[in-house]
Amino acid sequence: MENFPFYLCLIVAIVLLIMLANKIKVAYPVLLVVAGLAISFIPGIPLIHVNPALIFIVFLPPLLYEAAWAISWKELWRWRRIICSFAFVVVFLTALSVAFIANHFIPGFSLALGFLLGGIVSPPDAVSAGAILKFVKVPKRMSSILEGESLLNDASSLIIFRFAMIAVATGQFIWYNAAFSFSWMLIAGVGIGLLIGWVFMKAHKYLPTDVNMDIVLTIVAPYIMYIAAEEIHGSGVLAVVSGGLLLSNKRHRFLSSTARLRSVNFWESLVFILNGLVFLMIGLALPEITAGLAVEGISISTAVGYGLLITAILIIGRILSAYGAVIVTLIMRNFITVADTRNPGYKVPFLLGWTGMRGVVSLAAALSIPVQLSEGVPFPQRNLILFITFIVILTTLLLQGLTLPFLIKKIKLPEFDDYLPENEADEVIKKELAKYSLQYITDNYNEQTNNNHLLQQIADKWKYKSDDNIDPEIPAEMKTVYMSVLNEQRQWLLNHNNLHHHFDEDVIRKHLTQIDLEEEKLKFV
């Protein structure tokens, strides 16, 4: 606890730096990593040891869980083929490319070590891309593909990392054992996530919980999913993602409006500080990494050269993969139904390929490499792998992170008509929802409406689209009627989202939030 004041200062620094990043319109991960580097050179600053277990156990589950709650299942399913190709096929091909290049150009690097390095640096970091895309407008499909990829690529890269570790430690790779282990990790991870998600859903629904207890359960859930899956050698990442997606899509069945509204605020604050800490720790980890490099007698300039070589392979490989995905889609549209049969041109694949910033998962994986093998022999090239990983993270964040907003503004992306424009969709939903609500209250509470001016006022509100507030003196029986109408509205929106694919789910969610707020207001009148 002796460094506790220092960590408090780091949190304050994170808040100030993100304020600055928003002001100068720079993605905050870039600024935090640079700030971490600068802080690490200040004399007297405590040496920060980034414990990989801390990243994997403490940070990764809640970050993945929140992302699973935020993503649109409709979008995830629509672009499932390209998302899975980037999250699994491209990650594997990237790791393979790094393995051959490292084996050929870096002295002492076997194919197994190269594959280990490839598994570490292959997954792009979604937080960085998301922070950058906040400042510029991109097609919805592009942001959806990046979000969906980010949920799965960590799992595939960590699976590759595990197999490469076994190959380095044992000196052999048995493909059928690896195939079985890979299948088990996928099935067990998804299965455990869905099972635990179902248990928590029932706990929320049937146990006498209040709002605070519900929020606590949402904090506990991702950790139990991750740890349980890892204990049976499944993928903890896939467990958290699958369980999070299940609970997210069923949230209106087991959480009250109060719990939904308050949990959103809580999770936004939690993820804000977690993301800030992990990117600042990347910069602060430099002294530990360079110290290990000196032990192996490798010069900084040589190691930087290796890092830049691997970075170039990663950037070129991702861009080529993006164009390859487009070509495959254009060919397969003649045989199967694809999400969009049109040619997206050359701009979208290039920008999709340029969003390959690496982040904290790569650093945590590199740090988790043991110092020694089981026989007490030092792990080969461990410090060089750590340094190369750091260079890859730093270079991609600075090069791609700083240039991506400029490229997006410079390159005029095509206008895709995936959804109605937000304003138009908003107006259509308002009108259709008002008509449905008026019809429902007329069919089910016609007599009460005619005999009670309060319900008549509610009906008039939907009929004429007025902004009048509800009379605060609403009798209990009238509240029951109004609550019934709000529940019908909520169900109508959920059904509308599933049946009508030309509406962006973000617009639907905005209206669902408005209904939750209306329900909250009703509790205080």
DSSP 491-504: HHHHHHHHH-TTS-
Determine what percent of the chain is predicted with pLDDT higher than 70. Answer: 85
Separation CA 518–CA 453 (nearest Å): 19
The pLDDT value recorded for residue 343 is 67
Band of residue 328 on the pLDDT scale cut at 50, 70, 90:
confident
HSE-CB of 270 using CA atoms within 13 angstroms: 20
Q: What is the mean pLDDT of residues 333-337?
A: 71
Q: In terms of pLDDT, which residue wins out, 14 or 472?
A: 14
pLDDT > 60? residue 19: yes
- Position with higher pLDDT, 187 vs 410: 187
pLDDT at 467: 46
Confidence of residue 431 (pLDDT cuts 50, 70, 90): confident
**Which band of pLDDT confidence, cut at 50, 70 and 90, is reported for residue 451?**
low
Instruction: Identify the three-state secondary structure at position 372.
Output: strand
Q: Are 68 and 240 in contact (CB under 8 A)?
A: yes
Residue 121: what pLDDT?
A: 92
| 100-118 residue pLDDT tens | 999 999 988 888 899 999 9
Mean pLDDT of the region 62-81: 86
Among 157, 92, 84, 145, residue whose Cα is nearest residue 120: 157
Mean pLDDT value across residues 446-455: 58
Confidence of residue 244 (pLDDT cuts 50, 70, 90): very high
Rounded distance between C-alpha atoms, residue 380 and residue 106, angstroms: 13
The residue among 203, 154, 192, 190 whose CA lies nearest residue 55 is 154
C-alpha to C-alpha distance for 25 and 132, rounded to whole angstroms: 9
Q: Which of 492, 513, 519, 12 has the alpha carbon at shortest distance from 263?
A: 513
State yes or no: pLDDT of 517 exceeds 50. Answer: yes
Indicate whether 469 pLDDT > 50.
no
CA distances from 282 to 55, 364, 436 (A): 11, 9, 52
Flag the least confident range among 326-335, 356-365, 490-499, 512-521.
326-335
248-261 mean pLDDT: 89
417-426 per-position pLDDT tens digit = 667 677 777 7
Q: What is the pLDDT of residue 2?
A: 60
Q: What is the residue-averaged pLDDT of the chain?
A: 82
DSSP line for 390-417: HHHHHHHHHHHHHHHHHHHHHS------
At residue 466, does pLDDT exceed 80? no
Residues 243 and 226: their CA atoms lie apart, in Å, by 10
Which is higher by pLDDT, 336 or 205?
205
In angstroms, rounded to a whole number, what is the distance separating the alpha carbons of residues 393 and 444? 60
The pLDDT value given to residue 458: 61
Per residue in 341-367, pLDDT (tens digit) is: 666 777 788 888 888 888 878 888 888
Least confident of 180-189, 264-273, 476-485: 476-485
Predicted confidence at residue 191, as pLDDT, reads: 95
Residues of the chain with CATH 1.20.1530.20: 4-410
Residue 459's pLDDT band (cuts 50, 70, 90): low
Positive/negative CA dihedral, 500, 503, 506, 512: negative
The answer, yes or no, to whether residue 183 has pLDDT greater than 90, is no
**Class of domain 4-410 (CATH, top level):** mainly alpha
pLDDT value at residue 306: 93
User: What is the per-residue burial (b if ≥16 Cβ within 10 Å, else e) of 48-57?
Assistant: bebeeebbbe
Report the pLDDT value the prediction gives residue 50, as an integer from 0 to 100: 66
| Cα angle: 436, vertex 438, 442; to 5 degrees | 115
Cβ-count burial 398-430 (b if 16+ within 10 Å, e if not): eebbeebbeebeeeeeeeeebbbeeeebbeebe
pLDDT of residue 100: 92
> pLDDT category, 144, cuts 50, 70, 90?
confident
- Helical axes 111-121 vs 382-410, angle rounded to 10°: 40
- 312 pLDDT more than 90: yes
* Rounded CA separation 276/298 (Å): 32
For 349, the token pair is 């694949």
User: Nearest to residue 439, comparing CAs of 485, 493, 480, 500?
Assistant: 485
Looking at residue 212, its pLDDT comes to: 92
Concatenate the DSSP letters of all residues of 430-479 into one string. HHHHHHHHHHHHHHHHHHHHHH-HHHHHHHHHHHHT--PPPPS---HHHH
Q: How confident is the model at residue 311 (pLDDT cuts 50, 70, 90)?
A: very high
pLDDT band at 468 (very low <50, low <70, confident <90, very high): very low
> Please, what's the b/e burial string for 142-152 (b: 16 or more CB within 10 A of its CB; e: otherwise)?
bbbbbbbbbbb
Structure tokens at 171: 């000196």
